[in-house]
Structure 1
C-alpha cells in the first residue's frame, strides 16, 4: 500500500466507463436535461460524478450546473422531484430527491474572494467555461451536457485523469489564494484517488502553506477525516508533511521525523507510524471492513509522545519512557483544537494511552487477573486496541514478529475463554451498591464508591466470588479501614 504506483488509464476504457455510467443514470439526466432544455436553460453534469464516471465509480448523488437562476431551477425541480430544499440558495444551489437519487443543481458562478477569508462573494455567471475554471482541479472541472451527453473539458481534465495527476485549471497560486482549503483537498484527493500532484501545485502549496490558518478548524478537520479514511492515506499525509501544511494542521506528524543520532540507535518514528497506519487498515475486517477513523487516527497518533520523551542512555540505547501517557495528552489537545467530538477525542486518546499495555506483561504469561484488567481498561475500545497492538509491530525480525503475533493470539484466546465464563464485557463487583449499604449499615456516600472499587479490584484479581465470600471480604476490608 505504501508504494502506490497506479498505471495510466486507457482512454478507450475511460470512454466506455463514462458511457456505461451515463446509461445507468439516464433516468435522471435524460429527464432533467429535457426539462431544462424545454425551458431554455443549459444543464450539465459536473464535478465528482463526472470524474468518478471516468474511473468506473458509481454515484446516486449527482451534481449539476445550469444557466438557470435559482428560482427557475426550483420551479423546474418541483415538477420532477418528490422533495426539494434550498439551504444553498445563497450560493445558487437547489437540492431535491426522487427515489434513490439525490440531486443538487447550482447556477453557473463567478466568484471573487476577500484575501483574508475563504468565503466568496457569489456572482452568478452565464458561462460554463467560466464556471468550470473556478473549480479546484482539472479532474473536477469536466462536465457532460444533458440530454445530449457531450463532454466539456476546457482545461484538460481527461488527460490529467488518464495520467493520474492533480493540476489546477489556472495558476495554483491564484486558486489557493482564493480558497486555501483547496491545498488540503489536494492532499485528500491524492489519498482518495491514488493520484500524483503536479510540481507546480506542490510548489504553490509549499509557498502558501500558512494561508491554511484562515480556514476554520472544522473545515480542516473534515478534510483530514476524509484523507485518513481514504484508500491511500500515506500519499496525502506525506504531501501535507512535504509542503509544510502539516506543521499548521497536525504538527505532531512532522515532529515524528526525529533527527537520527549518529549511532542510529532508534528507528524512524515517522516511517514507522505510517506503516502502523497501513497495517491497521489491513486489519479493518476485524472492525467490520469499512474505513474506521478512530482506529486509523489512533494508529497515526500512537507515538506522538516520543519526541518529547526521547532520552539517550549512557549504554548506547534510547528510551521513550511514558510516551504513551504524554502522547495521549497531546492527542486529546490536538483533537480538541480541531473541534472533534468529545466521544471521538476520548476514544482515540484512550487507545493511544493503552497502546503499550500488551507489552507491559512480559513474555505473555498472563494471569487471569491481568486479562480481566486488560479488558476492563480497554472498555468499548477493546477490538480497536487489538487492531492497534497488532499493527504496531513493524520489526523486520521475522522470528520476533511471529513471537509477538503468537503471544497476542494467545491473549485473545484467553479473553474469549474468560469472556464466555465470566462475562468480562459487563464485569461488575459481586455485590451491588444496595447490598454494600445493607452489609455495612451506611447510606449513600463516598465510602460506598470506595467499597465498590475494592470489590471490583477483588473481582478482577480472583474472578467471580460467591456472595458470602464477597461479603466476608467486604467486612474484613471495612474493619481494617476502620482501624486505620
Structure 2
C-alpha cells in the first residue's frame, strides 16, 4: 500500500527534496526557461504526491504564473511536440524526450515525458452548471487552495526545488488521510466530482477521508448530478481499476454517491430475512470482484513479457453480475429464496446503466454478454441436470461447443468470472466446483486442439453454399449457413462431402 515514511518527511522538511523527488533534467530545464522569462513555475499536485510515494510515472504536472499564450510560446521553444487542447482551461501540453531516468536504473535509455503546464487557476461550478467557470489567478497559494485535497496541494518551485505546503499535505500524506485545503463543502461545491475522486484515492492509495470530508460527501451527494456522465464514468473506472477497489466502492455506497451514479450497486444490499436464507448479495459481489482481480493474470498471453494489467470489462462484469437479483428475488415454499432469470434481467440493467454512463458500445456488449452467460456453467458437472455423453458424465461435446460459441471472444473472461463467482465457505463444495470447471476447460482445450474451436464455422462457406444450391446472395444463404453451423456444433467437423450431402438434404426439405 502507498506510504511515505517519517524519514522521508524529515528529509523534505530539512530541505533535502532533491533526494526524494525524481525530478529529471527536463524539469530543471523547464524551470530555468520560465524563470528566465520572468515567470514562476512549480511541479504540483499528483506529481509531487506520487514522487513522495515512490510511484511517479512519466506524466509531469506544473503550474505557472504565465498566461496560456505565454506558456504556449515557451513550450514551443522547449519541445517540437506541443498540443493546446486544454488551452481554454489554461493548460498547454508537450512531449519531451530526455536523457536517462536517474531513478530507473537503466543506463543510456531515453525517457519520454508528458508535460502539462497550467496557469494558476480557480475553477468553480455554478449551482446548475455542468461546466466550470475558469478564472486565472496570480499566486500559487490561490491555486493550491482550490485543489481537491491537501495531498494534491503541495508544490515544488523550479529550478530551486523549494518545497511549498501551505495546507499540511505532507502530514496528511504520512497519515494517509484525505482532507480538503479549505472547507469540504466549498471544495465539493466548486467541483462535485471531487467527491468521486475521494473514492478513487481511497481505492488507489488506501487513504481514508477525514470525518468532515465523509460528512460533506454524504450531505452533498446530490450535487454530483450536475457532473457530466463522461466525467463520472472516468472516475468510476479509475476506482475500479485500482489494486483494491473495495474501499472506494464502499465509500461511494456509504455516502449515497453510488445511489446517484450507480444505483444498482447499493440496491444489492438486500434486507436479509430473519432466517438469513440468502447471502449478502452486495458483499458477495465485492468478493467476486476481488477474486476476479486475483485471476486477471490469466488474461496475459503466454508469449507476453509484461502483465496485461487491470481489465475494466472483467471488473465491471464481476461487480454487476448479480444486479438482477433485487428485481427477481422471490421467497419460495419451504424457506428457500430464488432469483430466477436474474442473469437476463441483470444484463438488461447493466446495458441501461452503462449506456447512461457513456461506456463504449464494445464495453457494453462485452459486459452484458458476460452477465448473461455467468450462470451457464452451473448446468455442468455430476449431480446436475445436464445432458451426458456417457464418457464424461457431464455436457455433450455439442454442449461444450455451444458454450464456446456463445462466449465468443469473451471466453477467457467468462472462465475467470465463473471461477470468481464461487464464494461458498463450504470447502468441499468449492473444491467440487473448481474441479468441474477444470474439467470443462480441459474439454474445451481438447476439442480446440482437434476442431479449431476458437473459430467455429460451417464446413462450407457462403460462396460454396450459393454454388451448390444455385441461389443468389440473400436470406436463404444465411439460413443454409446457420443450419450447417448448428450441424457443425452438434456433430463436430463433417468434412466437405458430408456437409454437402447434409446441405442438399436440407435444401430438398425446404423445397418440399
Quickly name the TM-score band, shorter chain normalised: over 0.9
- Please name the residue that 2:343 is paired with: 324
Find runs of 4+ consecutive structure 1 residues off by over 6 angstroms.
Answer: none
Per-residue CA shift, 1:149-168, capped at 9, x if unaligned?
11111111011110111111
User: 2:356 and 2:226 mapped to 1: Cα distance?
Assistant: 14
| Greater helix fraction, Structure 1 or Structure 2 | 1
Q: 1:50: Cα distance to partner?
A: 0.2
Q: 1:448: Cα distance to partner?
A: 2.1
Q: 1:15: Cα distance to partner?
A: 5.9
Aligned with 1:144: secondary structure?
strand
CA 1:42/1:409 → structure 2, altered by over 3 Å: closer, same or farther?
same
CA 1:164/1:139 → structure 2, altered by over 3 Å: closer, same or farther?
same
2:453 to 414, 424, 432: 424
- Please name the residue that 1:373 is paired with: 402
The alignment status of 1:230 with 2:259, answered yes or no, reads: no
1:84 to 82, 92, 97: 82
Give the TM-score, by structure 2 length: 0.90
Counting only pairs closer than 5 Å after superposition, residues 291-302 of structure 1 correspond to structure 2 as 291-302=310-321
Q: Judge conservation of contact 1:107–1:124 (CA < 8 Å) in 2.
A: yes
Aligned with 2:403: secondary structure?
helix
- Please name the residue that 1:280 is paired with: 292
Q: Judge conservation of contact 1:43–1:64 (CA < 8 Å) in 2.
A: yes
Q: Judge conservation of contact 1:115–1:178 (CA < 8 Å) in 2.
A: no
CA 1:87/1:442 → structure 2, altered by over 3 Å: closer, same or farther?
closer
User: 2:488 and 2:428 mapped to 1: Cα distance?
Assistant: 37
User: 1:78 and 1:444 mapped to 2: Cα distance?
Assistant: 57
The alignment status of 1:358 with 2:358, answered yes or no, reads: no
Per-residue CA shift, 1:349-394, capped at 9, x if unaligned?
0000000111123437122111111110000111111110110000
Q: How many equivalent residue pairs?
A: 477
1:388 to 410, 417, 439: 417
The alignment status of 1:158 with 2:176, answered yes or no, reads: no
Q: Judge conservation of contact 2:26–2:96 (CA < 8 Å) in 1.
A: no
User: 2:161 and 2:136 mapped to 1: Cα distance?
Assistant: 24
Moved more, 257-266 or 357-366: 357-366
- Please name the residue that 1:191 is paired with: 203
Aligned with 2:264: secondary structure?
coil
Structure 2 segments unaligned to the other structure (5+ residues):
98-111, 301-306, 383-392
The alignment status of 1:10 with 2:5, answered yes or no, reads: yes
Per-residue CA shift, 1:78-118, capped at 9, x if unaligned?
22222222222222222222211221111112344312124
Per-residue CA shift, 1:410-436, capped at 9, x if unaligned?
111111111111101111111222322
The alignment status of 1:64 with 2:62, answered yes or no, reads: yes
User: 1:83 and 1:450 mapped to 2: Cα distance?
Assistant: 54
The alignment status of 1:94 with 2:92, answered yes or no, reads: yes
The alignment status of 1:148 with 2:160, answered yes or no, reads: yes
User: 1:335 and 1:267 mapped to 2: Cα distance?
Assistant: 26
| RMSD between superposed Cα atoms in Å | 1.7
- Please name the residue that 2:53 is paired with: 55
Q: Judge conservation of contact 2:123–2:190 (CA < 8 Å) in 1.
A: no
- Please name the residue that 2:141 is paired with: 129
User: 1:458 and 1:104 mapped to 2: Cα distance?
Assistant: 59
Q: Judge conservation of contact 1:284–1:292 (CA < 8 Å) in 2.
A: yes
- Please name the residue that 2:194 is paired with: 182
CA 1:283/1:366 → structure 2, altered by over 3 Å: closer, same or farther?
same
- Please name the residue that 1:173 is paired with: 185
2:464 to 417, 435, 439: 435
Q: 1:344: Cα distance to partner?
A: 0.7
User: 1:173 and 1:469 mapped to 2: Cα distance?
Assistant: 74
Counting only pairs closer than 5 Å after superposition, residues 243-258 of structure 1 correspond to structure 2 as 243-258=255-270
Q: Judge conservation of contact 2:18–2:161 (CA < 8 Å) in 1.
A: no
Moved more, 70-79 or 268-277: 70-79
Q: 1:209: Cα distance to partner?
A: 0.7
Counting only pairs closer than 5 Å after superposition, residues 389-468 of structure 1 correspond to structure 2 as 389-468=418-497
User: 1:268 and 1:281 mapped to 2: Cα distance?
Assistant: 20
- Please name the residue that 1:348 is paired with: 367
Q: Judge conservation of contact 1:118–1:178 (CA < 8 Å) in 2.
A: no
Q: Judge conservation of contact 2:8–2:20 (CA < 8 Å) in 1.
A: no
Per-residue CA shift, 1:323-370, capped at 9, x if unaligned?
111111111111111111111110100000000111123437122111
Aligned with 1:80: secondary structure?
coil
Structure 1 segments unaligned to the other structure (5+ residues):
1-5
